[in-house]
Chain A
C-alpha cells in the first residue's frame, strides 16, 4: 500500500505546484528507509527553497548557512561514527556561494552524499540568475537574457567534480518523467551505497524545474527540462567505482 516514507515527517511541503522538490524529497526518504539508515542519518539543509527541509525529513537535521552544507556535513560525518550524512542543495547554494565547499568536500573524498537540485535559477529569492542558468535565459538579474560576454557560461558541476579523484560517484539525472524519476531513485540509492561502503564522495545532480520563476506552467517546465536543459546538462554517470575499477 502506498504510504508516506518513515523518513518524511507529516509537515506539509510548501513547494509550488509543479515543483520537483516534492518528488526528490520523497525519493531520498524512500532510499533512506529502504537502506534502513534513517536512524543513523543526519541531513544538512541548504538556503534556498529547500531551507525548510529540516522540517520535512524525520532524521536528525541541521540547517546550514548558504553554500556551507558540505563543510557542515564534513564535520558531522567525521565526528559521529557510523553516521550517514547527506546534504540537499540548490544550484545557487552549491554552485555559486558554495563552490569552494563542494569542490573541497569532493576533493577530500568526504564520505557524504550530496543531492544537488539544478533548476538553473534562484527559486526562493524570486528568480535571480544562477551559475547554471542557460545562455539567453531571462531572470530577474538577467532581464535581457544571460549574455555570455557579461556573465560567462553555465557551470557543469557533475563534469567538473568528476575530475577530482576523491569524487567516487557522480551522476546526473532528471525527474521530468516517470522513467527518469525511477533512474533518479536508483542513482540516489547508489550514491548512499557509495557512502555506506566507505568508498568516497557521492553526488547526484538532478536536473529540475522551477515553473514559477521560469514563468511556465508545470508541464511546459518539464518540457523545458527535456528540450533545453538536458542538451546542455547531459544525463549520465560521470564517475563510478565500476568505471574506476576498469582503468
Chain B
C-alpha cells in the first residue's frame, strides 16, 4: 500500500496534481486555497516543472491556455471571486478544445463574500460561467482522499475529451486534515500532435484558436463541442449511492453537504426512517437519468446544499414533475448541521 499521510485538503490537491503528472501550475493568492500555489511553488520547482504565481487570476487562466495549447498538463486553482475572473479564459479553453484543470475551493459569496465554505458556485461551474455554449466536466470530491484522487481523474478526463475539467470543492474540505493514501498514478500517453510546439519543418503548422468568423466555421466548431458533450453525458456520469434501493426518501447532496447528510441519514435510519443518499460525483454531467429512474420508482427527494438552491434546479429538471423535491438550503455564511438535516428528513417521511 502507498504511503498514508495526514494532509490538508489543499495540499492533497497539489500532491494529487503532481502524482497525475501536472507539468505546469499557474495560480494566484486567494483565501481559502493559498496552500495550493504555496505547496506547488516548492514541489514543482523541486521537480523541475513549471510554477508561476501570475499577476492575476486572469493572467493565470491565460497562461493555462498557452501551456495547454502547447501540449502540457496544466492546472490552476482559485476560489469563487477568482473563478469569476477566469470565465473568459475558460470559455476560450473549451472552444479551442484544450485540456486543463481548474480547481475552485468555494468560499462565501456573492461579491467579495467571506471565507466560509459554500456551494454557491454550482451554476457558475455547471451552467457555463463563461459565455457561449460550452461545458466544464465538473468533479465534486467530499474528502481529502477524494481531492487527491479526483485531481488526477480531472486531468485524465480533460485529456480524454480535450476539454477543461473543474474540481469543485469548498473551504471546509480544502482546509481540513485527513489521512491520504498517496497512490501512484499512471500518467496516460496522450496524442498531442495538434499542440503548438514548433513545427520544426516536419509538419503543417498548428493553430490553437477559438475564433470562427465565417458562419459555417463557427457552426462547425460548435457542432464538435455539441457532439463531444453528448458523448460525455452518455459515458462519464459518476455517482455514489448509499441505501437508496429500499429508501422512500433520497437525499441528494455533494461535497461537504454530503458528509453532513451521511451522518444525518445514519441517525434517521436508526430511528426507522427509510432514507438513502445519492451523491453526485460528477456535477456535470449531472446524473439526471438515475434521478429520473428513482423518481419513476416513487421516491421523494431532499436536496441539501450550501446555496439558495442551485443543484436543486437540476434535480427538479431530472424529476420532471414526477416526484416531490424538497430543499434544505443554507445561506452563505452558514453550514448545515446534522441535527437540522435529520429533523428535515424525519419531517418528510
Contacts and interface: CB of A to CB of B under 8 A. Distances in A.
Q: Do A and B bind each other?
A: yes
Contacts of B56: 100
A54 B56 CA distance: 26
Interface stretch (A34-42, A216-224, A227-235): A34-42
A84 B209 CA distance: 19
B226 to A, nearest CB: 21
B67 A76 contact: yes
B62 A65 contact: yes
A80 B59 CA distance: 18
B197 A62 contact: no
Given A74-B66, A75-B26, A63 B207 contact: yes
Interface string B188-224: 0000000011111110011111110000000000000
A81 B62 CA distance: 19
Interface stretch (B47-55, B155-163, B299-307): B47-55
B92 interface: yes
Contact of A62 (B69, B89, B199, B202): B69
A78 interface: yes
Given A74-B63, A79-B67, A63 B208 contact: yes
- Taking residues whose C-beta sits less than 8 angstroms from the other chain, chain A's interface range is 35 or more
Contacts of A82: 198
A226 interface: no
B138 interface: no
A78 B50 contact: yes
B65 interface: yes
B24 A78 contact: yes
Contacts of A60: 196-199, 205-207
A68 B67 contact: no
Nearest to B68: A75
Interface in B55-102: 55-56, 58-60, 62-67, 69-72, 74, 88-89, 92, 96
Contacts of B41: none
Contacts of A72: 62-63, 65-66, 69
Interface string A47-86: 0000100110111111111001001111110111011100
A61 B207 contact: yes
A203 interface: no
Given A65-B92, A100-B55, A101-B62, A80 B197 contact: yes
Contacts of A9: 205
B169 interface: no
B196 A65 contact: no
Given A39-B198, A42-B198, A62-B66, A79 B23 contact: yes
A75 B24 contact: yes
Given A54-B207, A75-B24, A79-B23, A42 B70 contact: yes
Contacts of A63: 96, 207-211
Interface residues of B, number: 40
A78 B71 CA distance: 12
A90 to B, nearest CB: 16
Contacts of B209: 54, 61-63
Residue of A38, A60, A63 most packed against chain B (CB within 10 A): A60
A82 B200 CA distance: 11
Contacts of B96: 63
Contacts of B24: 75, 78-79
Given A39-B199, A76-B70, A71 B210 contact: no
Contacts of A74: 52, 63, 66
B198 A40 contact: yes
Contacts of B65: 62, 64-65, 68, 72, 75
A61 B196 contact: yes
B211 A51 contact: yes
A79 B201 contact: no
Nearest to A100: B55
A29 interface: no
Contact of B89 (A61, A68, A73, A76): A68
Contacts of B54: 71, 104
A65 B88 contact: yes
A76 B199 contact: no
A161 interface: no
Contacts of A75: 24, 26, 50, 52, 62-67, 70, 72, 74
Given A63-B210, A103-B55, 4 more contacts: A71-B60, A76-B67, A78-B50, A80-B70
Interface of A: 9, 38-42, 44, 51, 54-55, 57-65, 68, 71-76, 78-80, 82-84, 100-101, 103-104
Q: Considering the complex of A and B, which 3 residue pairs feature the smallest CB-CB distances, nearest first?
A: A75-B66, A72-B66, A60-B196
25 contacts: A39-B198, A54-B209, A60-B197, A61-B196, A64-B65, A65-B65, A65-B88, A65-B89, A71-B59, A71-B60, A72-B65, A73-B66, A75-B26, A75-B52, A75-B70, A76-B69, A76-B196, A79-B66, A80-B70, A80-B197, A83-B70, A100-B58, A101-B59, A103-B55, A104-B54
